[in-house]
Amino acid sequence: MRTNGFALRDCFRTSVARWLLIIATGSVVTACSGTLSSITGKVANVLPDQTTTTPSTKTSAELLHAGDAAREKGDLDAAVTNYAAAIAVDPNSVEAELRLGSVDLARKDENGAVAAYQAAQKLAPKNPEAAFRLGEIDLTHGQAQDAADQFTIALESRKDDPKLYNAIGVALSMQHRYALAKDNYDKGLALEPDYPSLRNNYGLMQLASGDLQGALATFSALVASPQTNDRYRLNRALVELAMGQTEAALADAPGMDEPGLRQTLAIYRTPQATASTDGLRDALTGTDSEKAPVPEKSSLPNVHLAVDPPVAPPATAEKTTASITPAAGSPPTASP
């Protein structure tokens, strides 16, 4: 199950607050044994041009700005330090929690990200960014229903976002709720007809549900599109193999023999095989604009759900949005 990060977060936040108190009073405080020393080291890692003013004298907005600057320079540890300090100054800052969560994702700290997004959701239960990111993490643990619930929350305020319909379609397909998945995919396609990731996932849903003619048409259109890649050709090969068109399938998947194709096809005919989702978190957050290096592939078979990097919004922004962008890569794994 998804780890609840509140306990670690409370310890971390308390320690930061106590550290700020040390700066002001010069007293020595120990809290959450073994944690304070590491936190003080991180707080000391504030960017050099931010050291003229101690954290205890900065406002939450200033700390958010310092965190943004650190992240822009690729110093994710300093970004975490400043965002955590902003939360210590203003425990009701949804923006600080969201930004902390986004950097935790970039640092591959899932527990920290969960804690941050849960805290943001506690402050703002309908916040679409927090809901969407928690839904992502649910998917990585195979918790498709929980993911669908979170994506539904995000959709309440983002009904015009086809990328969210793609996300909830994937979650529903993982539960074999194909009629509902189709309904959401159709809504997304009505908003963005040429969205290749959504069309690919639509085709995989058709393959898994037995609509082979529909799947063949979907993947043939993708293969003929400007966004074509080897993954779409492999997916069409899987459909052709399922239809008994072995020669066409082998032509569509050069470098793969028939046993290899049949093994791949079995993934979609054995639903429980899709429960192996280790590494999806990396695929979901992997983009060129992220500062932290991320793996390029996921073990979730052929699902495309790459997302925009959770970029910290401007300090004056009042709202955040959840967004997913199309992925590109090689089959049979998801690769942003």
- Go through the chain and tell me how many residues it has: 336
Spatial separation of the C-alpha atoms in residues 158 and 283, rounded to whole Å: 23
Q: What is the pLDDT of residue 66?
A: 95
Domain boundary among 125, 146, 176: 125
- The 10s digit of each residue's pLDDT in 314-329 is 333 333 333 333 233 3
Same domain as 54, residue 137 = no
CB 320 within 8 A of CB 128: yes
Position 73, amino acid: K
Same domain as 294, residue 172 = yes
Domain boundary among 105, 125, 145: 125
Please give the model's pTM, rounded to 2 decimal places: 0.67
* Tokens linked to 172: 């529903």
Same domain as 291, residue 184 = yes
* Exposure string over 139-163, b if 16+ CB within 10 A, otherwise e: bbbbbbebbbbbbebbbeebeebbb
End-to-end alpha-carbon separation of the chain, Å? 25
Same domain as 228, residue 86 = no
pLDDT band at 136; cut points 50, 70, 90: confident
Same domain as 150, residue 33 = no
Query: In the chain, how many domains are there?
Result: 2
Q: What is the pLDDT of residue 87?
A: 96
Spatial separation of the C-alpha atoms in residues 249 and 240, rounded to whole Å: 5
Same domain as 187, residue 98 = no
Q: What is the pLDDT of residue 266?
A: 87
Same domain as 273, residue 191 = yes
Same domain as 188, residue 105 = no
* Cross-strand bridge partners of residue 324: 307
Position 264, amino acid: T
* C-alpha to C-alpha distances, 298 to 93, 140, 240, 304, nearest whole angstrom: 33, 10, 24, 10
Same domain as 277, residue 137 = yes
Q: Which residue has the higher pLDDT, 54 or 278?
A: 54
Same domain as 312, residue 210 = yes
CB 134 within 8 A of CB 118: yes
CB 87 within 8 A of CB 81: no
* Cross-strand bridge partners of residue 307: 324
Task: Identify which of 295, 323, 327 has the alpha carbon closest to the alpha carbon of residue 310.
Answer: 323
Q: What is the pLDDT of residue 304?
A: 62
Domain boundary among 125, 160, 192: 125
Spatial separation of the C-alpha atoms in residues 48 and 53, rounded to whole Å: 11
Using a 10 angstrom Cβ sphere, with 0-12 exposed, 13-18 middle and 19 or more buried, the burial of residue 134 is buried
Average pLDDT over residues 48-54: 44
Same domain as 202, residue 319 = yes
Share of the chain above pLDDT 70, in %: 63
Q: What is the DSSP letter of 46?
A: S
CATH of the domain at 251: 1.25.40.10
Q: Which domain holds residue 273?
A: 126-336
Same domain as 66, residue 137 = no
Using a 10 angstrom Cβ sphere, with 0-12 exposed, 13-18 middle and 19 or more buried, the burial of residue 273 is exposed
